[in-house]
Structures are given as structure tokens and as C-alpha cells.
Amino acid sequence: MIEKYNRTFTFYGLSVIIPWIMWFIVAYLSYLPEQSASVLMAQQILGMGGLVSPLIVALVLIFKDKELIDDFKSRFFNVQQYNHFYTFLAIFLIFLAMVCGQLISVFFGHSLDQFYISGKPSFTSFLFSPWIILVSAPVLEEFAWHCYGTDTLRRKFSLFVTSMIFAVYWVLWHLPLSFVKGYYHSNVMAEGPLYSLNFVFSLFVFVILMNWLYYKTKRNILITILFHLSANISNEIFATHPDSKVIQTVLLLIISVYVLIKDRGMFFNKEVLD
């Protein structure tokens, strides 16, 4: 079945070109002296347009083939695929790593105030609540990345190489957002090079763990949505110091190395198990 996902360049090309065009326009608009209601609304519409475009590309490619449609349905609507252990990890692994990261940072002099739940994300939004963006982004992205994107790479490469290629792509895909004034990625850049590099490196670790969960649950799309959603909320719910996020990445790296060693056959053999 995975051989049917054969429009790699079409998917990845359109999925980066369209968002980049929209998001670089958003970046330009975000620095205009007069932030009128129409300018702010244009930023939100273009921002969401860029976010949803990879999903639209994926659905267009999938709905051209009945077998791909059936495969998509079986990976999302079949409740028999759900595993309680991996579902637990998808929901709580990132959250627990964040809590541990904050606790460890306390021993290095950081405040317990990090555990304060403010209810206010670290970025602003005009048309949509920041929480709507935080929740909708994992759904829209993972429907695209894991209903087509991951499988089309896996068709040619081992899971480890697939994960590395996608992580590089994902870093570049986010690039325009780092130029949008007041947005999360722009704020990370403003915090300094260490925290910017941590964000980049954390994506590699994140992709390894997410694809591990994806294939451990027989290519279950909902698992990846839950994992991504958990990451978004965990990184915004607390008043976390950036140093704690670096510690969180180190903890997740240790888990990733363990996963790579434990399931090295799954990651390094090219054979695909649908």
C-alpha cells in the first residue's frame, strides 16, 4: 500500500511553497506601522491559509485514488488500532518531560513560579484565540504529515532517514514564522541563539518519538495528533523558563536514543511494515 504514496515532490514542494508565500506576506504585514483591523485580519487569514495548505495538498492527492482513501480511513477511524500504553505516552510524555525539566531547573536556581498556570500563551493573535491556533495546528499539520507526508518518504527510505529528512524539512517549513512579529517562533528567536537552536534540535527529537508512536500503533494518525497537541499545550500552559525547555529536550533525547536502540530494526531496516 505504501508504494501508492508516490507523489513525494508534488506534496513536499507545494506544502512548503504555498505556506512560505502566505507567511512571508504575514511577516511583512506584521511590521507595518499601522496595524489596522483589516491588516490584522489579513495576517490571521493568510496565517491559517498557510497552515491548512499542506492538508489540502494531501487530501487532493489521496482523493485521486480509492485505495488511498480506504487506507486513510482505516488509519483514523479503526478503533482497534488504539493501544492504551502508546496513547498514554502520546498524551503525557511531553508533559511529564516538561514538568521534570522545570523541576531540574529549580536545582540550578530557577524559580518554582514556572509552575504557575497563567492560561495565556506566549504569543498574540487578533482574529483567533491563541489557544485555537495551538489546538488546530496539530490537527491540521498531522493530518497532512501523517496521512501522506511520512509515508511518501518511507516508501524510499528507512524510518530513521525518513525522520531526519522530515525534521530538516519541518525546520525550514517553520522558517517564515520566525519573522512574524509577536509570534511564538519570533519570540524564540528573540530569546537568543541557544534557545533557537534548542527549538531546531527539539524538532528532530520530536519527530523520532512521533514516528515511533506512529508505527508502533500501525500508522495511526490520531496518535500523532495527540502527541503534537500535547507538545503544544505543555509548552504553553506553564510560565516555563527557556532553560527548562533545553532540559526537556535533553530528557526527550535520552528517551529517543533508548527508542532507537530498542527498536533499531524498525528504524534502520528499509523494509516497510504496513
Residue range 101-155, pLDDT digits in tens: 999 999 998 999 988 887 676 666 655 677 788 888 899 999 999 999 999 999 9
For residue 209, the model assigns a pLDDT of: 98
Give a yes or no: residue 273 inside a domain. no
Q: What share of the chain is helix, strand, coil (3-state, %, to 5)?
A: 80, 0, 20
Q: What's the mean pLDDT in 224-234?
A: 94
Whether 211 shows a pLDDT value over 90: the answer reads yes
Give a yes or no: residue 233 inside a domain. yes
Question: Residue 60: pLDDT band by 50, 70, 90 thresholds?
Answer: very high
Residues 6 or more apart whose CB falls under 8 angstroms from that of 157 comprise: 165, 270
Q: In this predicted model, what pLDDT tens digit does every residue of 251-264 receive, in sequence order?
A: 999 999 999 999 99
Chain-centroid distance of CA 92 in Å reads 16
- Within a 10 A sphere around the Cβ of 105, how many other Cβ atoms? 22
pTM for this entry: 0.92
Give a yes or no: residue 105 inside a domain. yes
Give a yes or no: residue 120 inside a domain. yes
Domain count, the chain: 1
C-alpha–C-alpha distance, residues 87 and 76, integer Å: 14
CA angle at 224 for the pair 220 and 226, rounded to the nearest 5°: 115
Computed on alpha carbons and rounded to an integer, the radius of gyration of the chain in Å comes to 19
The domain of 121 spans 2-268
Residues 6 or more apart whose CB falls under 8 angstroms from that of 33 comprise: none
Quickly tell me which residue has 497552515 as its cell. Answer: 51
Give a yes or no: residue 64 inside a domain. yes
If one compares 274 and 107, the residue with the highest pLDDT of the two is: 107
The full length of the chain comes to 274
Q: Which of 34, 82, 41, 97 is CA-nearest to residue 235?
A: 97
Give a yes or no: residue 249 inside a domain. yes
For residue 223, the model assigns a pLDDT of: 94
Give a yes or no: residue 274 inside a domain. no
Q: What's the mean pLDDT in 171-182?
A: 93
For residue 149, the model assigns a pLDDT of: 94
For residue 268, the model assigns a pLDDT of: 94
For residue 107, the model assigns a pLDDT of: 93
Three-class HEC string of 167-195? HHHHHHHHHHHHHCCCCHHHHHHHHCHHH
Percent of the chain surpassing pLDDT 90: 68
If one compares 2 and 159, the residue with the highest pLDDT of the two is: 159
